[in-house]
Amino acid sequence: MIKRIVRQMLSAQILSALTVSLCLLIDNIMIGRFLGEGAVAAYGLANPVLLIIGALGSMLAAGIQVACSKSLGQGSQEGTNAGFSSAIALAGGVSLGFLLLVLLLRNPIATMMGAGSEGALYNDTRNYLAGFIIGAPGSMGALILVPFMQMAGQSNLLIAAVLSMTVADVGLDLLNVLVFHGGMFGMGLASSLSYYVAMLVGGIYFLSKKCVFRFSFKLVTRQKIMELIKGGIPSIFTMVSTVILIFVVNQILLGTGGKAAVAAFTIITTIGNASNCIATGMGGVALTLSGILYNEEDRTGLRELIKLLTPRSILLGVGMGALLMVFAPYFVQLFLPEAGPTQTMAILGVRLFAGGLIPCCINTQLKNIYLGTDRVYLMESFSLIEGAVLPTLVALIFSRFMGTTGVWLYFMLGEALALLGLCGKVWLRARRVSLNADDFLMLNSDFGVPPEQLLERDIRTLEDVTETAQAAREFCRSHGQNDRISNHLALCIEEMASNTVSHGFSDNKKNHLSIRIQNKGDRWVLRFRDDGSAFDPVSYVPSSGEQDLGLRLVSAMSDEIRYTYSLNLNNLTLIFHTQS
């Protein structure tokens, strides 16, 4: 089932990763073609500040994935709703505060970024900051809705929101340069308004009765807010590393190649960020699924997740890298149609950037799995080394021998060295050279349920139900469990699995039901997961049918019952205490 979930999530997650970079890409193209090379340089100097709001939104989105993956893995719908409510409240407060701060301090910020204190470069930088920051609440709102739309299985709506944002940004940018002549302020404002369009389109689902999340001010608590922040802080290391890297490289380029080199670097990073949506998408899938699997103590599932994502990372990295290598001149010409030194530098830089996409995809998926499996320190240190330390060192060292060309090696060599260093850590820990998924997980040896204490079955037919119920009964007895618990487990499987196959599966669709039984000593945990029609047996109000009798029977036999709906999957957990 994990393979199907990965396939369903990946395309939507990659597309959603364009939420920020797509608008920045469009803005940069429009700025280069209509406002000139100097305006592109101003945009590049403003970029670190723009990335901060992206970092805050990404931090909160990651915190949502960590906290809600935990509650979903534990079968707590109330915990998920608390995360939803607290995330909305926190995003609103933080984005409004950041908006006011940048509007008030945009002049000294522009100077601090290297734009000077007067002249065209200074004015363009501060004006773009003012226009873009107006969209801070919309940008952050769009970012935090992405993980909730993924968890709710609303991939089509997510795609619609991103496409609406793209169309709006292109249209508003054209109106700015052709009709209103609003300069850099207008370009930033166009992006701001497009973010609000994306948030409104995505918000349609969250205002409907079909929404699986419920907002309540009562669920906004300090404890949940701190949990979101704690879960998201590790991911901010990635964005902070990017901000540091761009700032340092801009200063190096101002000294070696001047404004033209900064403009070329801006084009390289803009194209690179758009192509990196593959790595970001991989990371989003890895974080959400690893968090759920980790909290279910599913070592087998985590191992399968790495085995599924790694070849996809390599394949997509090769494909995107080849695309950049071949079409680099055409991509750069979208920004700078006139041939010249800046265009030449940008084309070379984009082609060298392409060489780092494969290790970047693998690095991103692994560090998000480490975050999802609570290896926070490992994720934070690796993010800083990969995102800031190594690429900055590469840029500093190679620029002394190769000038601006040496700077363009920052991404390719930085990512490759980071991956090599991670492999070295894994091999030292395993005491051998290994490409084994278990070794790269770096989990404690006592994590999860031992294989002999675990029973997993896939069900597609009623015949499978009967066989699984019997296997469960024998499994319990073989572990010394009394007949009462053994029979209760088997009966619950017969009732719930039969109802799922008979009433939840569609005739024209290959549905899937997985059953997992864990022996945890003082309790037995029985989990059902299926991709059939959404149905909550916990909140269901019985009538008088035969199916209702089965639900009441299951509820009476189990000591605890939990239900969540996420990723278009029904997740039902029954717990049986051996002492009861």
- pLDDT grade for 272, boundaries at 50, 70 and 90: confident
Out of 68-72, 206-210, 346-350, 476-480, the most confident range is 346-350
Q: Is the pLDDT of residue 65 over 90?
A: no
Q: Is the pLDDT of residue 432 over 70?
A: yes
108 against 80, higher pLDDT: 108
Q: Is the pLDDT of residue 257 over 80?
A: no
CA-nearest of 314, 579, 302 to 442 is: 302
Q: Is 262 helix (H, G, I), strand (E, B) or coil?
A: helix
Helices vs. strands in the chain: H and E counts, helices first: 22, 5
The answer to whether the beta carbons of residues 96 and 260 sit under 8 Å apart is no
Q: Is the pLDDT of residue 155 over 60?
A: yes
- pLDDT grade for 146, boundaries at 50, 70 and 90: confident
> In residues, how long is the chain?
580
pLDDT digits (tens, 9 = 90+) for 278-303: 888 888 888 888 888 887 778 888 88
Give me the residue label for tokens 């395309």. 11
pLDDT at residue 360, as a whole number: 93
- pLDDT grade for 539, boundaries at 50, 70 and 90: low
User: What are the tokens at 553?
Assistant: 């029977």
pLDDT at residue 420, as a whole number: 95
Q: Is 455 helix (H, G, I), strand (E, B) or coil?
A: strand
Q: How large a percentage of the chain has pLDDT more than 70?
A: 93
pLDDT at residue 365, as a whole number: 92
Out of 74-88, 420-434, 452-466, 523-537, the most confident range is 420-434
Task: Give the Cα separation of 14 and 8 in Å (integer).
Answer: 11
Q: Is the pLDDT of residue 491 over 60?
A: yes
The type of residue at 574 is L
pLDDT at residue 100, as a whole number: 92
Question: What are the domain boundaries of the chain?
Answer: 2-439, 452-577
pLDDT at residue 23, as a whole number: 66
Out of 51-60, 84-93, 417-426, the most confident range is 417-426
pLDDT digits (tens, 9 = 90+) for 203-251: 888 888 778 788 888 888 888 888 888 777 776 777 778 778 888 888 8
CA distances from 173 to 156, 306, 386 (A): 26, 41, 34
Find all residues with CB under 8 Å of 58, minimum gap 6, and list them: 143, 232, 235, 236, 238, 239
Q: Is the pLDDT of residue 92 over 90?
A: no
Q: SS3 for 49-87, per residue?
A: HHHHHHHHHHHHHHHHHHHHHHHHHCCCHHHHHHHHHHH
pLDDT digits (tens, 9 = 90+) for 320-355: 999 999 999 998 988 888 888 888 999 999 999 999
pLDDT digits (tens, 9 = 90+) for 541-563: 454 455 566 677 777 778 888 88
pLDDT at residue 75, as a whole number: 66
The predicted model gives 253-278 an average pLDDT of 84
Task: Give the Cα separation of 49 and 133 in Å (integer).
Answer: 9
Average pLDDT, the chain: 83
Find all residues with CB under 8 Å of 482, minimum gap 6, and list them: none
From 108-122, 393-407, 428-442, 505-519, the region with the lowest mean pLDDT: 505-519
CA-nearest of 366, 382, 392, 378 to 418 is: 382
Q: Is the pLDDT of residue 363 over 90?
A: yes
Q: Please tell me the number of Cα atoms within 13 Å of 561 on its side-chain side.
A: 16
pLDDT at residue 251, as a whole number: 85
pLDDT at residue 415, as a whole number: 93
Q: How large a percentage of the chain has pLDDT more than 90?
A: 16
Paired residues of 516 in beta bridges: 456, 527
Task: Give the Cα separation of 103 and 109 in Å (integer).
Answer: 10
pLDDT at residue 24, as a whole number: 67
pLDDT at residue 550, as a whole number: 66
Paired residues of 566 in beta bridges: 569
Q: Is the pLDDT of residue 97 over 60?
A: yes
Q: Is the pLDDT of residue 507 over 70?
A: no
The predicted model gives 121-139 an average pLDDT of 89
CA-nearest of 353, 364, 408, 371 to 386 is: 364
Helix 183-206 and helix 136-151: axis angle, to 10°? 30
pLDDT at residue 28, as a whole number: 76
Class of the 452-577 domain? Answer: alpha beta
The answer to whether the beta carbons of residues 197 and 164 sit under 8 Å apart is yes
Q: Is the pLDDT of residue 362 over 90?
A: yes
